[in-house]
Chains A and B, each alone.
Chain A
Amino acid sequence: MPDALSPIQDTHAAALDVRDLDIAYRVRGRDRQVIRGVSFRIGRGETFGLVGESGCGKSTVALAVTRYLPANGRVRAGGIHIAGEDALAMDAAALRRLRTRSISMVYQDPGRALNPSIRIGQQVAEVFEIAGVPASERMDRAEAMLARVRIVDAGRVMGRYPHQLSGGMLQRVVIAMALAVDPTLLILDEPTTALDATVEAEVLDLIETLRAEMGSSVLFIGHNLAVISRMCARVGVLYAGTLVEEGPTRELFAGPRHPYTVGLLRCLPQAGLSKHKTRLDTIPGFLPTTLAGLRGCVFAERCGLAQDICRAEEPPLIPVSAGRLSRCHFHEQAPSLPRSTPPAPLTDRVKTPAFRPVIRAAGVGKTFGSPAAPIYALRDISLEIWPGETLGLVGESGSGKTTLAKLLLGLSPPDPDGVIELNGQKLAPVATKRQPAELEALQIVFQNPDAALNRSQTIRGIISRPMRKLGGYRGSALAEKLSGLMSHIRLAERYLPMRPRQLSGGLKQRVAIARAFAGDPRIVVCDEPTSALDVSVQAAILNLLADLQAEQGVSYLFVSHDLRVVRYISDRIAVLYLGRLMEIGPAESVFLGPHHPYTESLMAASAEEAGSSLRLKGEIPSAMRPPSGCVFHTRCPRKIGAICEEQEPALIQREGDHAIRCHLERDQLGRADGARHA
């Protein structure tokens, strides 16, 4: 009897062959084209990346391949062949066979991919049930599969429900289910976007190892260029439903030949770049709103190289070298794309005489839960932020970054013994008890502008209310202040009567920034302000924040998990782990080292190389029962011995104002560079 899981298709055909795909969604009785003429091919055992910003159609391609397009979506032309079979011609039975045996998909959010009320073991076993494995074998094979995705103690995990596992663990389970049937094609749609950098690194390592073991072909969809370049042998760059460039990943990213790819790469804050040295380059303009009737190149409107021919005639995919294609008339010139922003940062920075920090926290802590079962979210944090400087705050989720931001803002009261001072004046623990001037001085930009802006109010209302309330502006003074701020934030006044849902993500975040700057803030907390945005928009927002700082001498507390962004924008950096300050110092010393083993591990995780020896194992421990001694000893790659478990090290100044909480001597601490080349 043939094994139900053995591949049944022709083994010589490409794993996936997409030809001239044209997809439209029917919206309000009209066809809206979202994919036009996309072709690519994934060979057996190959990993192909599809990269692009939100709205470029990358997930639509994945949905079309799995035949899961929503009811109003339609493939108008083109073909999709999976292992030689025509996916578009399949009937219901063939589709079922396709989905159970040939393709598997892993989505971004593992929490939503699993049924919350079914035990893990049962869910994994279901895959085998559908594949026709006899009931007696299913649980054993499920356990073997979980062990294969490096889940320690797989037997116990099988008895758990999804909510009892962490995000990284859940994504492993989903990957186990996807690989259980040994698919011809594995589709990964942003599989690590929802995970912490340290967990992401682990999951990517795992995917790489498994792929090598099982020889599946992979379609990897993502927006994170670093992740794509680490995982994929070949990559296609998608822009506005059009494949604009394709080629071997390393070559393509090292020497892009399409202006869009060039622009995208320039938006990323490169290592060593800082706001003091150069502005980030951006991609001007917007995605085209409609592809219908577009005659020329889709990118022409935003391209600094565009000539008349670009607007009149769509370029074909032109071979630029072996295995590389670019859809650009002037692909030779692409690397010399002119910058869209002046490179030099503002030089006439406002210098505020700094004889005292703008905000100072001393011995601040936060305990949740009952006295009987306290949860120490933050313990004994002391730090200062000086006028005109940016303090970057990094750490995994659960380390207390957002809690600290909330304490400073007064959105949640700290434990009674801590002190928070603004310009030397002690602040009330909650915002409702603070003076208007204090409120005005301390503002925030949230991560998600959709939740941060009241959807029922106009942009005018959102921005002018704090001007009235905090600044006391009225009438013509208000109108003048409003238009002054709008031009500072670089938002056109035509947006004023609109509501948030009418604006793009980047514009919404600009409105949120405008609201924070409506008074005269001295310090603005930026809580992951660019995490929800595309890289090209992120670059524009970072430029704006840097410009505003230079113009107004404002200070930032910049919370982010993206170390490149933090490094670019920060003057000093604080590292939190499990509610403790592990390291604080000038950005360059923290990044160049020697640094705390935790910081070192974070940097290793964000590095592009795979399988670093400094990979953090396991999850961040529970704050209810923090480890004894140094809280990091359970995961520390440089643990000395018993002393780490018994005695909590002090936060000691090592050189200048660079302080590290570790028992290791300075010369024993690692350096990111040393670790990387060792």
Chain B
Amino acid sequence: MSASVTPGTETPMPAASQQAAAARPALETPKSIQRDRIRLLLRSPLFIAGIIILLFWVIMAIFGPLIAPYNADDTDLLNTLTPPSADHWFGTDQFGRDVFSRVIVGSRDILVVAPLATLLGTVVGTILGLITGYARGITDDIVSRIVDAFLALPLLIIAMLVITALGISNTTVIVVIGLSFGLIVGRTVRAAVLGERDLDYIAAANLRGEKPLYIMFVEILPNVMPPILVETTVRLGYAIFTVASLSFLGLGIQPPSPDWGLSISQNYGLIGGGFWWTVLFYAVAIGSLVIGVNLTAEGVQSVIDA
């Protein structure tokens, strides 16, 4: 090529305008997109409220025993079922344990089990969705019908069956919820993958002999991350609810944990006697955590969609 050709320009250009091309501001750098998204998030009051609630419970889960005024398991048989007072803000239960301390400390198990189950579900669902969406054909048909069959049953029923069969433990709960969520997440991921796999960049990858695994995980996966992220945050809300339900039914987190669902099931018989504080505060805790997660999820979703 002749010397007049300037690399990096749309076409060779006279020297005077080189500077203009160099000064051409990059439209949007990945970093600036990221920064814009975060700025947008921080401007949404609902997201802020959600993240504050979530952070509050995470701190309680980690440092709960240090913050709580009493030991959550200490019984005080002289002060059973006392209503909320200055000493016991949320009152005491039938063994004289401080409800406030139990609500704070009780956040730990659910905040370990639910996120782990969600994580497992996301990983399983991503793999499942990538495979069914990319392979299509017979693989997709078989897997999708099995998924349909599973999803026809309510999650709680499946979970109760499996946990009864395998025995009760936190691990079983994580695995059961994780795998069930995997099927649901898998569908979302599959739909996103179907939108990608016919794009020409996949054909280009095939034309340089890339293996299917490389195409799925290196070429496609980064492009379907936004829906996966949204699905994960939404699933976390459901996971919290499911774990609490299983614990309430006695199939989840086991005594002596001060877990919320478990505590409700141990105390709900007392409501009839007017001892509402032994149940209400646990229920409010579950509700606030789910709302916190959902507000966060909604914020993330609106920013990713924007």
Give A contacts to B, CB under 8 Å: 282-286, 288-289, 301-302, 304, 306, 340-342, 409-411, 431-432, 434, 436, 439-440, 442-444, 446, 448, 451-457, 465-466, 469-470, 486-487, 490-495, 498-499, 501-502, 504, 506-507, 515, 519, 536-537, 539-540, 543, 547
Contacts and interface: CB of A to CB of B under 8 A. Distances in A.
A547 B1 contact: yes
Contact of A286 (B24, B199, B223): B24
Q: Which of B4, B16, B27, B28 has the most CB of A within 10 A?
A: B16
A245 B13 CA distance: 23
A165 B138 CA distance: 33
Nearest to B13: A284
Contacts of B208: 439-440, 465-466, 469-470, 519
B204 interface: yes
A349 to B, nearest CB: 14
B27 A502 contact: yes
Contact of A455 (B14, B210, B223): B223
A284 B4 contact: no
Which 4 pairs of residues, A with B, have the shortest CB-CB distance? A492-B8, A284-B13, A456-B222, A282-B11
Given A286-B20, A470-B208, 19 more contacts: A282-B10, A282-B11, A282-B12, A284-B10, A301-B16, A306-B16, A341-B11, A411-B206, A434-B209, A439-B207, A440-B208, A452-B204, A490-B5, A492-B9, A498-B26, A501-B28, A515-B204, A537-B10, A547-B1
Contact of B17 (A285, A409, A457): A285
Contact of B201 (A283, A442, A453, A540): A453
Contacts of A439: 207-209
B10 A285 contact: yes
B151 interface: no
Contacts of A491: 7-8
B25 A284 contact: no
A507 B16 CA distance: 21
B203 interface: yes
Nearest to A342: B2
A209 B146 CA distance: 60
A469 B210 contact: yes
29 contacts: A282-B11, A284-B11, A285-B9, A285-B20, A285-B21, A289-B24, A340-B11, A340-B13, A341-B12, A411-B206, A431-B206, A434-B209, A444-B203, A446-B200, A446-B203, A451-B199, A454-B219, A454-B222, A456-B222, A456-B223, A457-B222, A470-B209, A493-B7, A495-B8, A498-B26, A499-B30, A502-B28, A507-B10, A540-B11
B29 interface: yes
A487 B14 CA distance: 18
Contacts of B204: 444, 446, 452, 515
B29 to A, nearest CB: 7
Nearest to A551: B1
Contacts of B21: 285-286
A346 to B, nearest CB: 8
Nearest to B225: A456
Contact of A432 (B7, B12, B199, B206): B206
A304 B14 contact: yes
B221 to A, nearest CB: 9
B201 A443 contact: no
Interface in B4-56: 4-14, 16-17, 20-21, 24-30
B10 A506 contact: yes
B7 A490 contact: yes
Interface of B: 1-2, 4-14, 16-17, 20-21, 24-30, 199-201, 203-204, 206-210, 219, 222-223
B200 A448 contact: yes
A490 B24 contact: no
B17 A502 contact: no
Contacts of A490: 1, 5-9, 12
A434 to B, nearest CB: 7
Contacts of A302: 13, 17
B24 A452 contact: no
A284 B26 contact: no
A285 B13 contact: yes
A106 to B, nearest CB: 30
A286 B10 CA distance: 7
Contacts of A465: 208
A492 B7 contact: yes
A454 B201 contact: yes
Contact of A283 (B11, B29, B199): B11
Contacts of A498: 26, 29
Contacts of A306: 16
Contact of A340 (B1, B14, B203): B14
A448 B12 CA distance: 23
B206 A284 contact: no
Contacts of A442: 207
B115 to A, nearest CB: 26
A451 B9 CA distance: 22
Contacts of A536: 10-11
A442 B29 CA distance: 33
Contacts of B219: 454
A485 to B, nearest CB: 11
Nearest to B201: A454
Given A301-B17, A439-B208, A466-B208, A451 B1 contact: no
Nearest to A438: B209
B207 A444 contact: yes
Contact of B4 (A342, A411, A492): A342
Contacts of B16: 301, 306
B10 A540 contact: yes
B10 A289 contact: no
A442 B204 CA distance: 11
B209 A451 contact: no
A400 B204 CA distance: 20
A504 B25 CA distance: 12
A436 B209 contact: yes
Contacts of B30: 499
A303 to B, nearest CB: 9
A454 B220 CA distance: 8
Contacts of A499: 30
Contacts of A540: 10-11
B155 to A, nearest CB: 33
Nearest to A449: B200
A447 to B, nearest CB: 8
Given A289-B24, A289-B25, A452 B206 contact: no
Nearest to A290: B25
A504 B207 contact: no
Contacts of B13: 284-285, 302, 340
Contacts of A301: 16-17, 20
A451 B200 contact: yes
Contacts of B2: 342
A539 B219 CA distance: 31
Nearest to A341: B12
Nearest to A412: B203
